[in-house]
Homo-oligomer: A and B are copies of this chain.
Amino acid sequence: MKLYSYFRSSAAYRVRIALNLKNIPHELITVNLLKSEQQGIEYLNRNPQGLLPALETDNGVLAQSMAILEYLEETYPETPLLFGDAWQKAQIRNLCFAIACDIHPVDNLRVLKYLSSELGADDEAKNAWYRHWVEVGFEKLEQLLDSNHDYCIGDKPSLADVCLVPQVFNAYRFNVDMTAYPKIAAIYERCNKLAAFIDAAPQNQPDAA
């Protein structure tokens, strides 16, 4: 399998972590978002959605990180990242989507670009926007987490941690005060002691700039 990735793409970062946690052999192909390579004809032929990541499989190319994560879960059930009964899986997905739907899309690069090009937002306004949606989201997430657990749900990483870590990475990058979210910050530190998370981190990618 080939993963189309950009070092700073949160959604690609999620899939990198999951592939590592599941020990799935894959080739990494980098696509430069800043140079808009995802809008180039070569990439669009593979993924018409023109977004990262995309996973090239024997069946074809799959886009949408959350669809990729569910697909990997179904086809590589070893080291499950969605575990427990239906209710526990629902709790894992609840945390995933509180990030993947409620925080990440609003702070996406293409949205920030539109804010400046169409609404005249300067860097300060864009950074405030970024922090606002992270803070609103993290405030809720912090309440949902159980401080008796090492990870988001239970004592091993799940898809919730896979989604959380890239979002926290970006929060630090945009100077969000993470001391306000001690449970989230502790899970982030704990995950980042594991090789699967370390190897997937933006600064450890071949295209890190």
Q: Which of B57, B68, B93, B121 is in CB contact (< 8 Å) with A67?
A: B93
CB-CB < 8 A to A60: which residues of B?
Answer: 87
Known: A101-B100, A102-B105, A140-B48. A87 touches B59 (CB 8 A): yes
Rounded to whole angstroms, the CA-CA distance of A91 and B68 in the bound complex is 10
Q: Kindly report which residue of chain B lies nearest to residue A103, judged by CB atoms.
A: B105
The residues in A between 67 and 91 inclusive whose CB is less than 8 angstroms from any CB of B are 67-68, 70-71, 74-75, 86-87, 89-91
Known: A49-B144, A71-B90, A143-B48. A115 touches B119 (CB 8 A): yes
The residues in A between 143 and 174 inclusive whose CB is less than 8 angstroms from any CB of B are 143-144
Rounded to whole angstroms, the CA-CA distance of A132 and B75 in the bound complex is 36
Contact B144 A98 (CB under 8 A): no
Contact B90 A70 (CB under 8 A): yes
* A contact residues vs B (CB 8 Å cutoff): 48-51, 57, 59-60, 62-68, 70-71, 74-75, 86-87, 89-91, 93-94, 96-98, 100-102, 104-106, 108, 111, 114-115, 118-119, 121, 125, 128-129, 132, 140, 143-144
Q: Which of B67, B68, B74 is in CB contact (< 8 Å) with A96?
A: B67
Rounded to whole angstroms, the CA-CA distance of A97 and B115 in the bound complex is 23
Contact A89 B70 (CB under 8 A): yes
Q: Which of B49, B98, B143 is in CB contact (< 8 Å) with A98?
A: B49
CB-CB < 8 A to A143: which residues of B?
Answer: 48
Q: Which of B51, B70, B74, B89 is in CB contact (< 8 Å) with A102?
A: B51
Question: Which 6 pairs from chain A and chain B are nearest by CB?
Answer: A67-B93, A71-B90, A64-B97, A74-B86, A105-B105, A67-B94
